[in-house]
Structure 1
Amino acid sequence: MASVDSRPGGPRSPEQRKQEALERLARDNDVWVATADSAGEPCLVPLAFWWDGESVWLSTRDTNPTGRNLCASGRVRLSFGPTRDVVLMHGTARMLTREELPEEVGDAFAAKDGWDPREDHPSYVFFQVTPQVLQAWGTVPELAGRTLMRDGKWVV
C-alpha cells in the first residue's frame, strides 16, 4: 500500500521545507545528537542547542561519551523535530573551551535555553557544528528531494 501524504495540499516543496527547517532550527530547544566511538559503538543523547544562522552550538561535558566522541572524530548527526517532520543534519564539530568561546555565543546559548554551561561544572565544553548535509522530510512522498544542503552548500 502506497503512503499517502497527510498534509493539506500534499508534499511540501523543497523551498518550503528549507524555510520550515530554518524556522525549526531557530525555534526548537533540544536536538538528538548521534555520535560513535572509534569501535563504532553508537551514542544518542538529547542536548540543548543554539543555531546562529550558520552553525549549531552544543554543550556537554568532554568527559562523557558524546563529548569524547565529538573530540575524537568531529563527526555528528543531529535530528530535529518529530519523525513525521524531521530535519536531519550531518556535520563536523569543533570543540571550544569556555575560555575560547566567544562571549556573544555563550550569552545567546544561555538566553535561549535558560541554562549557562559556563557557570556549571568545569568539564562542560562547547561544540560548533558546521552542517555538511541537511535533509528535511515528513512522509514518503517527500523523500525525493529531501536533501536541501550538500557539501555545506544549500542546493535549494
Structure 2
Amino acid sequence: MTIMDEPRSPERRKRDVLDRLERETDVWVASADSDGVPCLVALWFVWDGEALWMATRPGNPTGRNLCARRRTRLAFGDTRDVVLIDGEVDVHADDEVPAAAAEAFRAKTGWDPRADSATYSYYQVRPVAVQAWHEQHELPGRHLMRSGTWLV
C-alpha cells in the first residue's frame, strides 16, 4: 500500500489486524518499571481470539514490569503497516496457565516454556485499545477498539 492508494475502510483494517494476529509470530512488548524506565523487547505470542499469550522469565525486566504494572503496549515491526495494541495483563505461572493457551503457544512457536529448565510465566494480554494505519493518509480512523470494544 502507498500513500496514493485509497485508505482502507475500518472493517478492512480490523480484518487486517486479526489476520496479523493469526499469522505473525513476534510482537514488540513495551513496559515500564515503577520509576518509568521503559523496556522494549520482542516476544513470541499466540492469539486465542480474545487475548495474546506470551511467555518470558518472571525475573527479567519485562516479566517484572508486566507483573507489577499489569499494562503494556504491543506493536508489530513494520513501520509502514502500524498496529498498536494497548492491553491489560494477567500473569500465569507455568504450572497454572490454561492448558489450551500453553498448547497453542507450543504449537505455534515450537517451544514449551513449561518444559524448560528455567522458570517462565505466561502473560495474557487482553486488548483494550487497537490502532492500525498505513502511512499518514490513514491516520484518520486509526482507532479500531476503545475500552475493550471494537468500534467496527
Give the TM interval when normalised to the shorter protein.
over 0.9
Does residue 11 (structure 1) correspond to residue 7 (structure 2)? The answer is yes
Give yes or no for contact 1:24–1:81 (8 Å, CA) kept in 2. Answer: no
Length-normalised TM-score, structure 1? 0.94
Tell me the alpha carbon deviations over residues 5-64 of structure 1, each in whole angstroms, 9 at most, x when there is no partner: 716742111110100000000000000000000000000000000000000001000000
Aligned amino acid, residue 119 of structure 2:
S
Tell me the alpha carbon deviations over residues 106-140 of structure 1, each in whole angstroms, 9 at most, x when there is no partner: 11100001111111134210011010000110110
Q: Who is 2:97 aligned against?
A: 101
CA RMSD of aligned residues (A): 1.2
Does residue 130 (structure 1) correspond to residue 130 (structure 2)? The answer is no
User: Displacement, 1:102?
Assistant: 1.1
Instruction: After superposing the two structures, state which structure 1 stretch, 73-82 or 23-32, moved more.
Output: 73-82
Aligned amino acid, residue 80 of structure 1:
F
3-state SS, counterpart of residue 83 of structure 2: strand
Unmatched runs of 5 consecutive residues or more in structure 2: none
Q: Who is 2:50 aligned against?
A: 54
Give yes or no for contact 1:60–1:124 (8 Å, CA) kept in 2. Answer: yes
User: Displacement, 1:81?
Assistant: 4.0
Q: Who is 2:106 aligned against?
A: 110
User: Displacement, 1:104?
Assistant: 1.3
Counterparts of 1:121 and 1:61, CA distance in 2: 11
Q: Who is 1:45 aligned against?
A: 41
Does residue 80 (structure 1) correspond to residue 89 (structure 2)? The answer is no
Counterparts of 2:45 and 2:4, CA distance in 1: 31
Give yes or no for contact 1:32–1:45 (8 Å, CA) kept in 2. Answer: yes
How many residues of Structure 1 are paired with residues of Structure 2 in the alignment? 152
Give yes or no for contact 2:10–2:144 (8 Å, CA) kept in 1. Answer: yes
Counterparts of 1:105 and 1:133, CA distance in 2: 22
3-state SS, counterpart of residue 77 of structure 1: strand
Unmatched runs of 5 consecutive residues or more in structure 1: none
Does residue 24 (structure 1) correspond to residue 2 (structure 2)? The answer is no
Give yes or no for contact 2:114–2:120 (8 Å, CA) kept in 1. Answer: yes
